[in-house]
Structure 1
Amino acid sequence: MSPLSISEQRNQLRKQMRAKRLALTADEQAFAAQDIIPKSLELIERYSAQHIAFYLPFNGEISPLALMDRLIKQGKKIYLPVLHPFSANQLLFLQYQGEAQLERNRFGILQPKLDVRNVLPLNELEMIFVPLVACDTQGNRLGMGGGFYDRTLSQAKQLISVGLAHQCQQLEYLPLESWDESLSHIILGEQA
């Protein structure tokens, strides 16, 4: 039997790690979402970031919603990704205007309704918090497989990138591809 290719290893890891994430109880999810707040606030403060991108949680991803609410109350500008309507696997970032302004994209993930007047140029974002399926101890990230965040990070080298994950999503080593972009920081939420 031949060894698995990197692509096969990554797909297998995605299945295993998504299952781990989905196996977390609602209490474990809630505890982890609170656990990331102090570490995230410290990082945002260290970089004096004002324009910060987040994601809306999907399929067991650690939720940044409480953190986003806190930052909005502090006067920070919060942005969310929107699938680019014409460029495949590209993201645009729009200011978060509340839940009333959201719709589901083709993957079933909530995103702001696209209004080109509200798109923030990528070079004006200072920090981006990204979801992940798995991460390793060297700051590498394994996403869902579409390459959306890798493309974004490769186009905006100035961005401070922060992966948010449950502690159970961290591995010692991830099999990498040439296009993978590593993260500036990873914050792990504990499950209590």
Structure 2
Amino acid sequence: MAAPLTLPVSIDEAKSTARKAAVARRTGQDPGLGIRLIGHLLEGGILPRGAVVAGFWPIQHEIDIRPLLAALHERGHPLGLPVTGRRGEALVFRAWKPGEPLLPGRFGTSHPAGEELTPDVLLIPLLAFDGQGHRLGYGGGFYDRTLAALPDAIRVGCAFADQELDSVPVGSYDQRLHAVVTEAGLRHFP
């Protein structure tokens, strides 16, 4: 009997399948666990003193990093939030302080109207990550373009521990993380 025919799967198909599984894993998680990120990140030795930190406003069941952003602000870190532009463009970051109003953005995001800034550290949302520092995003490529444009910035994924997969499908343009912070701790990647 002949071996079954196996058709190659494109990276796009593999990512689409992984995204569906990752969304299912994240749904039902408690966004309030984001408060645990504060101690892990602030005590993890990854943040340079006074570094400009770009965060994100959580959407779609993402871990809530707003308490972390408030703690970073209290420690004197200038903060920024991303503005999502047109497809094919990198993100732009605008200055923000806790309590300042936000404007509605694309894809259900919110962003400030502050001046543009360049982050030293990026706190990055994701659907999944693996033990090699690869991340699976939503598929627009905004963060990959942004990370390519900011090669010296420290890249920290923010997620629930259950969002870790054995392996994330990776394309040639995908950018790796330096670390991931979850409610369980901070993990550095080589």
Bin for the TM-score computed over the shorter chain: 0.7 to 0.9
- In the alignment, structure 2 segments of 5+ residues that lack a partner are 1-5, 185-190
Is 1:94 aligned to residue 94 of structure 2?
A: yes
Using the aligned pairs only, state the percent identity: 32
Shift of residue 154 of structure 1?
0.6
The amino acid that maps onto 1:188 is T
SS in 2 for 1:186: strand
The verdict on how the C-alpha distance between 1:176 and 1:159 changes in structure 2, with shifts beyond 3 A counting, is: same
Secondary structure in structure 1 of the residue aligned to 2:180: strand
CA gap of 1:152–1:46, structure 2 versus 1, over 3 A, is closer
Q: Match of 1:47, SS?
A: coil
Deviation readout 1:51-89 (Å, 9 max, x if unpaired): 1110110101111100111111222111100123x6743
Counterpart of 1:20 (choices 2, 14, 25) is 25
Deviations 1:132-154 (A, max 9, x none): 00000011111000111111111
Distance in 1 between the 2:28 and 2:18 partners? 15
TM-score (norm 1): 0.85
Partner of 2:3: none
Larger radius of gyration: 2
User: How far apart, CA to CA, are the structure 2 residues paired with 1:184 and 1:35?
Assistant: 19
1:52-63 pair list within 5 angstroms? 52-63=53-64
Mapped contact 1:89–1:146 kept (Cα < 8 A): no
Would you say the 8 A contact 2:81–2:93 is kept in 1? Answer: yes
Distance 2:125 2:8 in 1: 29
Displacement after TM superposition at 1:110 (Å): 1.1
Extract structure 1 runs of 4+ deviating beyond 6 A: none
154 and 74 in structure 1: CA distance in 2 versus 1, 3 angstrom threshold: same
Count, aligned residues:
179
Gapped regions of structure 1 (runs ≥ 5) = none
2:71 aligns to what?
Answer: 70
Give, in whole Å, the separation in 2 of the partners of 1:65 and 1:150: 23
Equivalent pair of 1:128/1:159 in contact (CA under 8 Å): yes
Distance, in Å, in 1 between the alignment partners of 2:58 and 2:47 is 25
TM-score (norm 2): 0.86
Kept in 2: contact 1:130–1:161 (CA 8 A)? yes
Q: Counting helix residues as a fraction of each chain, which structure ranks higher?
A: 1
Maintained 8 Å contact 2:87/2:142: no
Q: Cα offset for 1:44?
A: 5.8
Q: Is the 8 A contact 1:56 1:64 kept in 2?
A: yes
Aligned letter for 1:182? R
**Structure 1: how far apart are the matches of 2:15 and 2:148?**
20
* Residue 31 of structure 2 corresponds to residue 29 of structure 1: yes
SS at match of 2:7: coil
CA distance in 2, matches of 1:129, 1:35: 15
Distance 1:95 1:44, change over 3 A: farther
Letter of the 1:78 counterpart: L
